[in-house]
Chains A and B, each alone.
Chain A
């Protein structure tokens, strides 16, 4: 099946620094990628929808200047947490859709990134 690779799996950083998380579709082209945030024992909260070659669409309450998303190619989307603070500590998950217009039947998730901001 299709694979979505997310890197790094875990990152610890100091407050005020920026962290970049990569999401790659390994064997398919992903025109749409989604970024989620998940707090412990909670559900996935959609942060933004990323379409290749265009600006990401952010959900209400998500700061676009804080969480920079770049989807420069059909196989790579990045999420950069800028000037990270302890409250940004969370589990971040990306997902990518195989075949445009095919809905969510071809949606695959990355393995997640645990961000800890000290």
Chain B
């Protein structure tokens, strides 16, 4: 059972454009929703995260939009740059000190000049 569904699987965006990646979840007990960026041969790095008490969080060019009623959240990358080309994973977890993250399947983003 896939608890976090991520789309699209791959994405090509022109430099300067907006990259949008979507995730949906089923478990209403999830209360933490991070996005990770992973470059080839490297471990994932936390990009930005949100909790359900807010509908949007912005950090620089990265914004998370959260829709609790629809059980969906998305990552927006504004002014996308070639250096943003990477694989992005959404994730979710329940409130617990030892609960592992549940990851989406990932989105391979390519930003072309």
Contact = CB atoms under 8 A, between A and B. Distances in A.
Interface of A: 4, 6, 9, 32, 34, 41-44, 46, 49, 51, 91, 93, 95, 97, 100-105, 107-112, 114
Nearest to B10: A41
B97 A34 contact: no
B60 interface: no
Interface stretch (B14-22, B61-69, B75-83, B102-110): B102-110
Contacts of A41: 87, 106, 108
B49 interface: yes
A104 B34 contact: yes
A42 B86 CA distance: 13
B54 interface: no
B101 A42 contact: no
Chain B residues touching A, range: 20 to 34
A26 B101 CA distance: 22
A43 B98 contact: no
Given A93-B44, A104-B34, A109-B44, A51 B106 contact: no
Contact of A103 (B42, B46, B99): B99
Nearest to A106: B46
A108 to B, nearest CB: 8
A51 B98 contact: yes
A69 to B, nearest CB: 14
Given A42-B106, A105-B49, 16 more contacts: A9-B41, A41-B106, A43-B106, A46-B100, A51-B98, A93-B44, A97-B97, A100-B97, A101-B97, A103-B93, A104-B99, A107-B101, A108-B46, A109-B36, A110-B43, A112-B43
B28 interface: no
Contacts of A44: 44, 89, 103
18 contacts: A34-B101, A41-B87, A42-B106, A43-B103, A43-B105, A44-B89, A46-B100, A49-B100, A91-B41, A102-B97, A104-B99, A104-B100, A105-B32, A107-B46, A107-B101, A109-B36, A109-B43, A112-B41
